[in-house]
Structure 1
């Protein structure tokens, strides 16, 4: 009998993780970000007897890109801002008590070096399609993603730079979702966008103040790229001070996608559900926009970078210069989208399959139709993603 290799064991474990099974405790020696002993230094979170969540780096298979993930403890907090907070907006309330499970959060926003690896899949998928390799069928489509088409007008997206260490910008929520599905299926772990509640919890890092460092915006230059200190676009990720959880750029630089639809009435729909879990406090989008971004951008004033501040996307305005029909499901073409980016999250306990699918796939019918139109017309690239993809690319 052929011996089972470590790689095969990892793939087997990952298959259970992606299916939503709680396999982390039994496979602690294999799961990234877990240790059987408390490390002598650095952050750690005890999640079971002799089991700790710890920071970890992972190299995205098939690339040289490394992502740093930071453990964030579970707990409770009040989402939104109190009525007494300066510069508070009506859509930041009413405050709701939320329960948050332990999770890992990327130390920084997704940068160009990594996002361009995802962008490159478009050409690869088109080559597979023309050669009949790794064909997508109705039977395996569940494991397929679409890759963003080539930029219609690169000078817009790259006007303020495309350095490896700058955060990637101008992608739609759908494109960010597909990125996290690619990362998950190729690595065997559930990476995804956050819910609004998870994002705000991670940004606050235990604080109840307007910013993660306090109520006074005077210290903002130490923590954020914003309108007054960044007139040349987004700054390099991780160059400002982190919050108490060790996360950089939660305020400013680029606004970060969540999976939530924007609600003008704030959290009124959840006011009678105090203690709701952060992964369940979601209004899933029924249309491509408006959806919620958090953290503010390098173009915003300090008051719009508060922990509770919300930004509603606007497809009509943000795609105003897109001459295509239907307009691209993957890219924005107009400001303020050069301040739009994202970071990745991962739950300690894998989410159920039907739940994680909602994080990876669009819920809006219009988005699904636009994607289908592009793919059917040969203007989109779709391909299968699994652990064998990197070898197939080579």
Structure 2
């Protein structure tokens, strides 16, 4: 009997030894694969450096990001615990892969020449954005996820649906800084600008097709639209409750210098380069950050919050008008309705563009703000929405398409060739022509963030 127990003990010991050897071997393999992934990320970051032109730069990026995704996929399949945030990183890098594919394809076309959106400074800034994100991924590769699920909140006593009276203001939560929404009725409008409007306000010829041709668009059912842009305080609450990590660094104008938007890695949404209060619109965040906030609001309320489509945004911003500005024809009236690049902001910053002189400002208007203003500081449009032009530009759900030719007649989302962002509305630093409701622009990087970009949400009814 004793001999049997000895034999059994030896067998268990051998089995445990074999198991330990297997575990150690697996851990060693996982470590080796993660190190290979770290090396790929290093090579990717090295490739995100300007090589004299987009055509010379992006082939190396395309190869490097594909290799990184391949290494990440291998780790996910064979050692899923080795990179706890693999799914998040994969989503980010997949966007970069699509962008790199776009650049390689477009720059290889016969007759390609840089345009108004892919200037040297814009492409260089996009590379710096992605280099910063790649460094963050590499830094956090082995770290556990910090994102906590949203906590369901006590609902408000509001009952809001498609039958609710247009203009009704409501909140889905009872918090002090609750997101206020406004019920906007269904309706139709003409998207885009007339040729006369573009001529009157001096829209550069190279940009005019962005707003043309005009299209009839119908928003077929009521929606709830954010009464204001999302504020610094509301975004802070989201970060605090969830542990979400917003993007680091942003493009900014440099005051009193002859420059373009430059990427400054030390800035973030808490420090966009100028003072803000919790009631100012949050800026310096990415479209991805804005969508994460919308997902948080959806989870905690049980309702569907999202970015507006471009068609919905313009309909809501116009507030039933077809004039260049929602308040009428005269930009000089902006001081009542929008925080713009007026005499006050001009005196404090005197922004200028290399080779083009000073950035045009709204003359003879004093709105009292040098930078962003607390949301709702000016008069709303006819739908009861504040700051739809001025203060912060706003991300929409669509990805960039450079004309209105394919504007969807039902205001549904449009998808361009790559996940490049679309911004609507003017900003605190915007010149007169860019305060028009029809003004639209894209940035050829899905990681773009500046100290003039923010967002507002819609909520399905």
Asked if TM exceeds 0.5, the reply is yes
Unaligned runs of 5+ in 1: 1-10, 15-28, 35-46, 124-145, 317-328, 349-394
Partner SS state of residue 274, structure 2: coil
RMSD, aligned α-carbons = 2.7
Select which of 280, 288, 292 maps to 1:178: 292
Deviation at 1:109, TM superposition (A): 0.6
Q: Name 2:246's counterpart in structure 1.
A: 148
Q: 1:120 to 1:229 in 2, by over 3 A?
A: farther
Distance in 1 of aligned mates of 2:417 and 2:287: 13
Distance in 2 of aligned mates of 1:105 and 1:287: 27
Q: Deviations over 1:220-260 (max 9, x none)?
A: 11111111145221111100111111111111111011011
Q: Name 1:97's counterpart in structure 2.
A: 216
Structure ID, larger Rg: 2
Q: Does 1:284 align with 2:415?
A: yes
Q: Count how many residue pairs are aligned between Structure 1 and Structure 2.
A: 260
Q: Counting strand residues as a fraction of each chain, which structure ranks higher?
A: 1
Q: Name 2:391's counterpart in structure 1.
A: 253
Q: 1:339 to 1:96 in 2, by over 3 A?
A: same
Distance in 1 of aligned mates of 2:275 and 2:444: 24
Q: Name 2:281's counterpart in structure 1.
A: 167
Distance in 2 of aligned mates of 1:68 and 1:251: 18
Runs of 4+ in 1 over 6 A off after TM superposition: none
Q: 1:314 to 1:163 in 2, by over 3 A?
A: farther
Q: Deviations over 1:61-101 (max 9, x none)?
A: 7x642121111110111111122212352210111111102
Distance in 2 of aligned mates of 1:186 and 1:103: 19
Q: Name 2:193's counterpart in structure 1.
A: 81
Q: 1:30 to 1:171 in 2, by over 3 A?
A: same
Q: TM-score, normalised on structure 2?
A: 0.52
Q: Which has the higher contact order (CA 8 A, sep 6+)?
A: 1
Unaligned runs of 5+ in 2: 1-151, 250-264, 346-369
Q: TM-score, normalised on structure 1?
A: 0.60
Q: Counting helix residues as a fraction of each chain, which structure ranks higher?
A: 2
Q: Deviations over 1:168-208 (max 9, x none)?
A: 00111111111101101111111111111111111111111
Q: Name 2:160's counterpart in structure 1.
A: 33
Distance in 2 of aligned mates of 1:303 and 1:71: 29
Distance in 1 of aligned mates of 2:209 and 2:433: 14
Distance in 2 of aligned mates of 1:155 and 1:268: 36
Q: Name 2:11's counterpart in structure 1.
A: none
Select which of 349, 367, 382 maps to 1:244: 382
Deviation at 1:58, TM superposition (A): 2.3
Distance in 2 of aligned mates of 1:147 and 1:60: 24
